[in-house]
Amino acid sequence: MIKKFYITTTLPYVNGKPHIGFAMEIVRADVLARHKRILLGEENIFFNTGTDEHGQKIADKAKELGMSPQEYTDKMSQNFKDLTKNLNISNDNFIRTTDDYHIKAAQKFWEIVKKNGFIEKRKYQVKYCVGCEMEKTDSELVDGKCPDHPNNEIEFLDEENYFFKASEFTEKLKEYFKKNPVIPEFRQNEIVSLIEREGMKDFSISRLKEKMEWGVPVPDDKEHVMYVWFDALVDYISTLGWGGEDETKFNQFWGWADKPVDSTVFQIAGKDNLRPQSAMWQTMLMAAGIKNSDVIYINGHITSNGQKMSKSLGNVIDPNEAIEKYGVDALRFFIIKHLHNHEDSDWTEKRFYGAYTADLVNGLGNLTSRILAMSSKAGIKLFDEGRGYPIFGRQHSKLENYDFNGEAEEIWKSISDLDELISRTQPFKLAKSDDSEDKEKLKVVLLSLLNGLWAVADWIEPVMPETAEKIKLAVKENKKPEEPLFPRIEK
């Protein structure tokens, strides 16, 4: 039986416009999904993304704008939907946590966890950062403030709430971490030492409706709505139909703890999401008897000219602007090749421009037009020679180890190998010769160049789908593309 592969991004919170950090996350997920589809077949891949839409921050923002929360989230969610289109993302579903089927699934999840004895009502006082929509322990606060939101006052909530008894899963979570689900290793070590040091703590998973009503209603208690994280994390399975009428996809792509299926569950997230994804969500799955995630891939952050991106500094990078100027494949390429797999990366226009010019205009674009100019002139065609398609051996791809940078390095190494083959064999000189031996040599050289170019197109397809298609078309027609693949851009 062929293995299945499930991929999900985190769901971005819709209180702002999509930024480049999320573009990085979703492009990586898309590259992996496209790679796996070629390797395992369309029907064996499920790729999820969407938007997270409940909670205090959304309610506040909508109020400020004089809109209902639903109107506000409808408008904001569309920005993310548009981004998936603009980035040429091949997701199988786009889930909104305000979708009916998600709300029903979140409620069913609550009921199961409660029935299993892991939800109870308690009185408590908590320190809460509205910026993170998360409770904070004293050790996480710096001078009594959230280090990520120093301008927000920490709120003290004193109320009766439902608690999720995550502490009961500390040992089981340690066992789970022995499988090394978190990539890279330094993030795996970070979460393991946090759990070793502090264990899992029970956390509040409801809010009083009279204080904040924009959430999923708690089943059988009209006074409470669910805490936004508790509802949102369930999207990873509600997207598969879990908790609905047809759970076929869930049973194929995810599965229960006692009924594991031959499928890999892959999650990708930014480093600020390490704890929710690898600890909170995993204990929630344990409490519901559902299989844990297999891989949790953690991205670094992107800085803008060496500084943290923030609205107040006005240095937030809009992925749509980069697409407009350089094209979607150029942005996808830059993310895969030039933004570090796991460390923070700096984004500057200069870096992007430099990479675009060196690797695409002078690299892949120039190579394509040189080879096809020579082969069309000489009338040497790859597919007239009765050759099969040279197919890139995808099972050897570095993407099998989730190494995006490594994959790009290898591709660009083979591009420079082809450049080198041209300088070494000088086919443009051979083309001028009337000598029959030179003619034969020219044919051999051009065929290996065309062969190599086709393999490169095959190889880059998950990263740059449109470019791969253009190159393949040019090779089939044996004609230099009329427009350069990557137009030179004036700085």
Residues forming contacts to Zn ion in the complex (CB under 5 A) are: 129, 131-132, 146, 148-149
Structure tokens at 320: 């749509």
Nearer to Zn ion among residue 10 and residue 293 (C-beta): 10
For Zn ion, the closer CB: 59 or 105: 59
- What minimum distance in Å lies between the beta carbon of 68 and Zn ion? 26
Tokens 């603009």 sit at which residue? 86
> Over the chain, what HEC string results?
CCCEEEEECCCCECCCCCCHHHHHHHHHHHHHHHHHHHHHCHHHEEEEEEEECCCHHHHHHHHHCCCCHHHHHHHHHHHHHHHHHHCCCCCCEEEECCCHHHHHHHHHHHHHHHHCCCEEEEEEEEEEECCCCEECCHHHCECCECCCCCCCCCEEEEEEEEEECHHHHHHHHHHHHCCCCEECHHHHHHHHHHHHHHCCCCEECEEECCCCCCCCECCCCCCEEECHHHHHHCHHHHCCCCCCCCCHHHHHHCEECCEECCEEEEEEEEHHHHHHHHHHHHHHHHHHCECCCCEEEEECCEEECCEECCCCCCCCCCHHHHHHHHCHHHHHHHHHHHCCCCCCEEECHHHHHHHHHHHHHHHHHHHHHHHHHHHHHHCCCCHHHCCCCCCCCHHHCHHHHCCHHHHHHHHHHHHHHHHHHHHHHCHHHHCCCCCHHHHHHHHHHHHHHHHHHHHHHHHHCCCCHHHHHHHHHHHHHCCCCCCCCCCCCCC
Token duo for residue 103:
């709300």
Both structure tokens of 447: 């065929």
Residue (137 or 401) nearer to Zn ion, CB: 137
Nearer to Zn ion, 142 or 444 (CB): 142
User: Shortest Cβ distance from residue 140 to Zn ion (Å)?
Assistant: 9
CA distances from 441 to 374, 426, 436, 447, 481 (A): 13, 10, 9, 10, 25
Least Å distance, CB 134 to Zn ion, is 7
- Round to whole Å and give the CA distance between 128 and 157: 7
Give whichever of 20 and 146 is closer to Zn ion, judged by the CB atom.
146
Residue closest to 351 by CA, chosen among 317, 320, 310: 317
Min separation Cβ 144 and Zn ion, Å: 12
Given the complex with Zn ion, which of 128 and 333 has the nearer CB atom?
A: 128
| Nearest distance, CB of residue 272 and Zn ion, angstroms | 10
CB of 98 to Zn ion, least distance (A): 23
- Comparing CB distances to Zn ion, the nearer of 55 and 243 is 55
Whichever of 155 and 343 has its CB closer to Zn ion, that residue is: 155
- Min separation Cβ 19 and Zn ion, Å: 17
> In the complex with Zn ion, which residue's Cβ is closer, 1 or 156?
156
Q: How far is the CB of 273 from Zn ion (least distance, A)?
A: 13
Rank residues 131 and 184 by Cβ distance to Zn ion and give the closer one: 131
Nearest distance from C-beta of residue 148 to Zn ion, angstroms: 4
Contact between residue 403 and residue 341 where contact means Cβ atoms under 8 Å apart: yes
Q: Of the two residues 142 and 391, which places its CB atom closer to Zn ion in the complex?
A: 142
Q: Minimum Å distance from CB 127 to Zn ion?
A: 11
Tell the smallest beta-carbon distance from residue 21 to Zn ion (Å).
Answer: 16
What whole-number distance in Å separates Cα of residue 419 and Cα of residue 447? 14
Nearer residue to Zn ion within complex by CB, 151 or 436: 151
Determine the Cα–Cα distance for residues 187 and 185; give it in Å rounded to an integer: 5
- The distance of closest approach from Cβ of residue 276 to Zn ion in the complex, given in angstroms and rounded to an integer, is 13
Q: Which is nearer to Zn ion, 125 or 151 (CB)?
A: 151
CA gyration radius, the chain: 26
Q: Which two tokens stand for residue 466?
A: 């449109």
> CB of 130: closest distance to Zn ion in angstroms?
8
